[in-house]
C-alpha cells in the first residue's frame, strides 16, 4: 500500500514491520534496528547476503552517539558540515547495536538523510532505522515511488516522497585515525568535501573482488546493474560502430549523439550536466531495460565531481569490469 500519513508510517514501523521510505538519494527498505525479525526480513526480501551490513538512519548527532563510540574529531567536522545529507559515516559500533545490522563488523554505518518526510518520521520514532536501498540485491536502486513499487509494492508498504532529488547513493566515509577514507563515492563529491570542510579524504581501493564480504558496498562488482548488457566506454563511436547491427541504447555524457538514420537506437544525451545525469541515472537505465535492447553503451564522464560517482556506478553496472 502507498501511504502518505506519518502516523500510519510510525504505526507500521512500531509494529515491527518494514516500510519503504524516501530519501534524497534513493528509496530504502526500513526497519527498527533493534527488532531482529524486521531486520532479518530486509535481508531476505532483498535477497541480500547476511555478510553485507545495513546503513543506520538517524535524526541527530546525539543519536549517532547512541550507536557509535570513540568518534573521531573529523567525523564531527564532517557531520556538522554535511548532515542532513548524502554522507554515511563508518564508526566504531556500540555493543548494543545488533550484529545482524552490522553483519558482525566492528563498525556501524550511520547517516542523517535529507528528506523532509523521512526526517519528520525519524524524529517521531524511539529508534533508528536500518535501511538499505529498496532494490533486489544487485539491481538498480529505485529513485521514485513507482520504481520501488515495481520491486516490492505487493509486499511492503511505501511512504510516498516523490522523486529523489540526488538519485545516487550516499558517499560512505570511514576513518583511519582522524584521516577520512572514502569507501564508496556517491552523491557527495570529493571536491565538496574538500572545499566545504577543508578535509582531504583518501580513496579506499578495492582490495579484492570477493563479493561475499566487501569492506563496504559499492566495492562489489555487478552491482547497480540493469538487466540489459551494458558497455562502459571512453570511445563511444568505436563501440557504436562495433555494435551497429544491434538494437542499442546510448547514454551519452559529453558527446551529443543525434544520428537520425539509426531508427533502432534510443539516445539519452546528458549534455555534460552531471547533476541531472546522476538524478536520472537509475530511471534512465530502468527505462532502457523496458525497451528490449541488445546492449546499452554508456559514455564515460570526466573523472571529476559527480562524474566520478556516475563512472563508479556505470563501471560496476557494466559487464566489462
Give ∠ CA 46-48-54 in degrees, rounded to 5: 95
- Total site size for Mg ion, rule CB under 5 A: 1
51 within 8 A of 100, measured Cβ to Cβ: no
Other CB atoms within a 10 A radius of the CB of residue 215 amount to 21
Rg of the Cα atoms in the chain = 19
Nearer to ligand TXA by Cβ, of 49 and 247: the residue is 49
Q: How buried is residue 49: exposed, middle or buried, by Cβ count under 10 Å (0-12/13-18/19+)?
A: middle
Q: Is the dihedral of CA 297, 216, 197, 63 positive or negative?
A: positive
Q: How buried is residue 287: exposed, middle or buried, by Cβ count under 10 Å (0-12/13-18/19+)?
A: middle
The span from the CA of 63 to the CA of 56, in Å, is 10
Longest dimension (CA), the chain: 63
Instruction: Give the x-and-dash track for 1-40 against ligand TXA (CB under 6 A).
Output: ----------------------x-xx-x------------
Positions in 144-183 near ligand TXA (CB under 6 A): 169-170, 172
Stretch that binds ligand TXA, among 63-71, 102-110, 227-235, 296-304 (CB under 6 A): 102-110
Nearer to ligand TXA by Cβ, of 105 and 229: the residue is 105
- Total site size for ligand TXA, rule CB under 6 A: 26
Instruction: Give the x-and-dash track for 86-125 against Mg ion (CB under 5 A).
Output: ----------------------------------------
Q: Does 216 bind ligand TXA (CB under 6 A)?
A: yes
Which of the choices Mg ion, ligand TXA, none does residue 26 contact, using the CB cut-off of 5 to 8 A by kind? ligand TXA
Q: Does 63 bind ligand TXA (CB under 6 A)?
A: no
Q: Does 90 bind ligand TXA (CB under 6 A)?
A: yes
The span from the CA of 291 to the CA of 306, in Å, is 27
One residue of 38, 41, 102, 114 binding ligand TXA per CB under 6 A: 102
Residue numbers at the binding site for Mg ion (CB under 5 A) = 133
Residues that bind ligand TXA (CB under 6 A): 23, 25-26, 28, 52-55, 88, 90, 102, 105, 107-109, 113, 131-133, 169-170, 172, 214-217
Amino acid at each position: 500500500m502507498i501511504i502518505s500519513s506519518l502516523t500510519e508510517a510510525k504505526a507500521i514501523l512500531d509494529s515491527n514491520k518494514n516500510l519503504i521510505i524516501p530519501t534524497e538519494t534513493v528509496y530504502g527498505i526500513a526497519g527498527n534496528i533493534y527488532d531482529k525479525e524486521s531486520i532479518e526480513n530486509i535481508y531476505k526480501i532483498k535477497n541480500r547476503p547476511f555478510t553485507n551490513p545495513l546503513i543506520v538512519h538517524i535524526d541527530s548527532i546525539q543519536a549517532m552517539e547512541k550507536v557509535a563510540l570513540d568518534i573521531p574529531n573529523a567525523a564531527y567536522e564532517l557531520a556538522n558540515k554535511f548532515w542532513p545529507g548524502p554522507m554515511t559515516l563508518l564508526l566504531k559500533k556500540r555493543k548494543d547495536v545488533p550484529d545482524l545490522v552490522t553483519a558482525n563488523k566492528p563498525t556501524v554505518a550511520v547517516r542523517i538523510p535529507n528528506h523532509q518526510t523521512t526526517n519528520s518520521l525519524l524524529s517521531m520514532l524511539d529508534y533508528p532505522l536500518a535501511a538499505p536501498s529498496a532494490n533486489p540485491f544487485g539491481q538498480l536502486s529505485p529513485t521514485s515511488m513507482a520504481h520501488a513499487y515495481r520491486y516490492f509494492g505487493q509486499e511492503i508498504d511505501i511512504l510516498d516522497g516523490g522523486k529523489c532529488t540526488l538519485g545516487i547513493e550516499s558517499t560512505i566515509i570511514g576513518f583511519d585515525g582522524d584521516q577520512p577514507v572514502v569507501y564508496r563515492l556517491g552523491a557527495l563529491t570529493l571536491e565538496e568535501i574538500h572545499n566545504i570542510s577543508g578535509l582531504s579524504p583518501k580513496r579506499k581501493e578495492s582490495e579484492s573482488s570477493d563479493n561475499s564480504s566487501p569492506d563496504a558496498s559499492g566495492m562489489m562488482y555487478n552491482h547497480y546493474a540493469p538487466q540489459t548488457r551494458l558497455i562502459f566506454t571512453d570511445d563511444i563511436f568505436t563501440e557504436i560502430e562495433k555494435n551497429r547491427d544491434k538494437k542499442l541504447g546510448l547514454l551519452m555524457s559529453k558527446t551529443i549523439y543525434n544520428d537520425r538514420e539509426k531508427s533502432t537506437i534510443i539516445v539519452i544525451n546528458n549534455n555534460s550536466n552531471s547533476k541531472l545525469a546522476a538524478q536520472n541515472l537509475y530511471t534512465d537505465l530502468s527505462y532502457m531495460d523496458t525497451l528490449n535492447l541488445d546492449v546499452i553503451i554508456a559514455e564515460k564522464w570526466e573523472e571529476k565531481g559527480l562524474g566520478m560517482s556516475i563512472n563508479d556506478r556505470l563501471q560496476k553496472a557494466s559487464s566489462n569490469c
